[in-house]
Chain A
Amino acid sequence: MSEPKTNPSGLIFFLQIFSISLIWIMVVSVITWILNLISLSRYLHDAQNATLIISLVVLPIFTLLAGILTYVFIGIRKARPHD
């Protein structure tokens, strides 16, 4: 069995970068959506406190999950032995 190649080709490297970007695009989309809901609730005077509390719970968890995944991806890549 030959030694594993850990240095990815161009396409795979692109896909990996794309994966990280996708995660953060998702997080930014969720943040934008929630901000839209907050502004809507303010405009309509509709359960503003509840909206804020739910947002304060949800947004950090989404960001934390994306952060963990980014940490794993970058951490593994950085710690790999070079071919």
Chain B
Amino acid sequence: MDALRKDPDYTLYRPILESDRRFYWAIGFLGAVVVWAIVMYIRQLVYGLGVTGLNRTVTWGFYIINFVFFIGVSHAGTLISAILRLSQAEWRRPITRMAEVITAIVLAIGGLHPIIDLGRPDRVLNVFFYGRLQSPLLWDVTAISLYFTASTVYLYVPLIPDIALLRDHTTKFKKLYTWLSWGYVGTERQKHVLERAMSILMVVVIPVAVSVHTVISYIFSMTLQSGWHSTIFGPYFVTGAIFSGTATLLVVMIFFRKFYHLENYLKEIHFQYLSVLLLVFALLWGYFTFSEFLTGIYGNEPMEMRVIQFKFSGAYAPFFWMMVLLNFVIPVIILAFKKLKKIPGILVASFSVIIGMWLERLIIIVPSLSNPRLPVVSEPYIPSLTEWSLFAGGVAAFCMMFLLFSKVFPLISIWEIKDGRAEGLEAVKERLESYLPDTDVAGEGA
């Protein structure tokens, strides 16, 4: 243990080895919220969906909004991590693990929401026995299971060298680490096996991630519902997903940087780079939103216009304009100016995007359902305490699982940091030399 204290990366082991009272308080509080959400869910099971605010035309409310939102957030992780690894961006090293953990946890939570939305959750078995792949809902089940499997594998494989380090240097969770490290000690052959597996995973995971959110958009765009039947929903959803995911990653990084004193690893430059990505996606989101409404307004189809007016100036106008403010105006103003683009500003912009993107999911789902094509009277959708509780439970479960993960595994990849110190500089120099033109070419050609 004393030898470990002398390790330059001891800070990364500290959350696992040392106890902090704040950690247990946080787990206690979050656990209480999760238990409350479970109690409310059991109540829903007993009394049925009548305890929610869902009604005759608005049959998809908070649960499906949260489902789309959580699955969207999951995009940050694996996608950003895979792209940064694939492009050999050296600044990725302290970021990738957090991104991958977000994906795995959020997917697990998001994937539960359609089941929560079922009055009879046992009927989910019908998907397995009598499912029809004609339905986009079943495409979702398939795509999300695939993405969850891929992202869990993608989280686990680069974690193996760190698990081996923990097995060899700590006394906690010894059996767990021995089991999960598979006898890894870092021989050349073992490193080769991991590198090979990771390079295949990186390539596989990117199209899977992109396809998942496209498929999520299909549950809306494949219907002829006004406000949903749009050809740009696929890329619009993927953009929104990466946008909200990047914002979540930034919030998580800022929080854990402070909580675990990781200032030496998560430097200002990491936030600067990621905030550029956030700015780009804010602009892209603005562009897609503009295109989506422009085509609708230009077409002037009466039902489509009714939904658009409902969003622009009707009952959902406050939420719509709040969404525009939070997703576009605030992040663009903060991130476009160097003076504001500091960590506190980035935190404000990221929170703004997270809330804005949740509102975007609300704006897509509820107004269309509130304006059905059939001449039936629609009731306003007002979420009940049950829905609010389950939403809070989902967010609390995410925070709690993330904190628990940080107590067992390092949040920053220790072996990648060590590798970066040992070989990174040389590798970058070599790569740079291979990109640049040779200086003596002119002489040779003469």
Q: What residues of chain A lie closer than 8 Å to B201, measured between beta carbons?
A: 68
A75 to B183, CA, bound (A): 10
Contact yes or no, B197 A40, CB < 8 A = no
The distance from the CB of B218 to the nearest CB of chain A, in whole angstroms, is: 12
Q: What residues of chain A lie closer than 8 Å to B194, measured between beta carbons?
A: 72, 76
Interface digits, A45-64 against B, CB 8 Å rule (1 contact, 0 not)?
A: 01100110011001001101
When A61-B204, A79-B189, A79-B190 are in contact, do A12 and B149 touch as well, CB less than 8 Å?
Answer: no
Contact yes or no, A62 B178, CB < 8 A = no
Contact for A79 among B139, B168, B193, CB less than 8 A: B193
Contact yes or no, A47 B133, CB < 8 A = yes
Q: What residues of chain A lie closer than 8 Å to B196, measured between beta carbons?
A: 71
The yes or no answer to B254 lying at the interface (CB within 8 A) is: no
Q: What residues of chain B lie closer than 8 Å to A50, measured between beta carbons?
A: 133-134
Q: What residues of chain B lie closer than 8 Å to A69, measured between beta carbons?
A: 153, 156-157
Interface SS of chain A: helix
The distance from the CB of A58 to the nearest CB of chain B, in whole angstroms, is: 5
Contact yes or no, B183 A8, CB < 8 A = yes
Contact yes or no, B164 A4, CB < 8 A = yes
The distance from the CB of B9 to the nearest CB of chain A, in whole angstroms, is: 16
Interface residues of B in 160-184 (CB under 8 A from A): 160, 164, 167-169, 175, 178-179, 182-184
B62-70, B123-131, B245-253 - interface stretch: B123-131
Contact yes or no, A1 B149, CB < 8 A = no
A80 to B426, CA, bound (A): 28
Which of B129, B131, B167 has the most chain A CB atoms inside 10 A of its CB? B131
Give the size category of B's interface with A.
Answer: 35 or more
Q: What residues of chain A lie closer than 8 Å to B183, measured between beta carbons?
A: 6-8, 76-77, 80
The distance from the CB of A37 to the nearest CB of chain B, in whole angstroms, is: 5
A73 to B156, CA, bound (A): 11
When A61-B204, A62-B146, A62-B149 are in contact, do A41 and B182 touch as well, CB less than 8 Å?
Answer: no
The yes or no answer to A36 lying at the interface (CB within 8 A) is: yes
A19 to B157, CA, bound (A): 14
The yes or no answer to B145 lying at the interface (CB within 8 A) is: yes
Interface residues of B in 179-207 (CB under 8 A from A): 179, 182-185, 187, 189-190, 193-194, 196-197, 200-201, 204
The distance from the CB of B130 to the nearest CB of chain A, in whole angstroms, is: 7
The yes or no answer to B132 lying at the interface (CB within 8 A) is: yes
Q: What residues of chain B lie closer than 8 Å to A36, measured between beta carbons?
A: 128-129
Contact yes or no, B132 A41, CB < 8 A = yes
A41 to B200, CA, bound (A): 33
Contact yes or no, A81 B149, CB < 8 A = no
The yes or no answer to B208 lying at the interface (CB within 8 A) is: yes
Contact yes or no, B131 A40, CB < 8 A = yes
The yes or no answer to A25 lying at the interface (CB within 8 A) is: no
Contact yes or no, A65 B179, CB < 8 A = no
Contact for A58 among B146, B160, B182, B185, CB less than 8 A: B146
The yes or no answer to B142 lying at the interface (CB within 8 A) is: yes
A5 to B133, CA, bound (A): 49
The distance from the CB of B212 to the nearest CB of chain A, in whole angstroms, is: 12
Contact yes or no, A12 B146, CB < 8 A = no
Q: What residues of chain B lie closer than 8 Å to A26, measured between beta carbons?
A: 149
The yes or no answer to A21 lying at the interface (CB within 8 A) is: no
Among residues of B, the one whose C-beta sits closest to the C-beta of A33 is B128
A4 to B184, CA, bound (A): 10
A4 to B418, CA, bound (A): 19
The yes or no answer to A30 lying at the interface (CB within 8 A) is: yes
The yes or no answer to B307 lying at the interface (CB within 8 A) is: no
Contact yes or no, A76 B146, CB < 8 A = no
Q: What residues of chain B lie closer than 8 Å to A19, measured between beta carbons?
A: 179
Taking Cβ atoms with an 8 Å cutoff, the residues of A that contact B are 1, 4-9, 11-12, 15-16, 19, 26, 30, 33, 36-37, 40-41, 44, 46-47, 50-51, 54-55, 58, 61-62, 64-65, 68-69, 71-73, 75-77, 79-81
Taking Cβ atoms with an 8 Å cutoff, the residues of B that contact A are 3, 128-134, 138-139, 142, 145-146, 149-150, 153, 156-157, 160, 164, 167-169, 175, 178-179, 182-185, 187, 189-190, 193-194, 196-197, 200-201, 204, 208
CB pairs A–B below 8 angstroms (23 shown): A6-B183, A8-B179, A11-B175, A19-B179, A30-B145, A33-B128, A36-B128, A41-B132, A47-B133, A54-B133, A61-B204, A64-B200, A64-B204, A65-B153, A71-B197, A75-B193, A77-B182, A79-B190, A79-B193, A80-B184, A80-B187, A80-B190, A81-B185
Task: List 5 other contacts, CB 8 Å, given A6-B185, A16-B182.
Answer: A12-B179, A33-B131, A75-B193, A75-B197, A79-B189
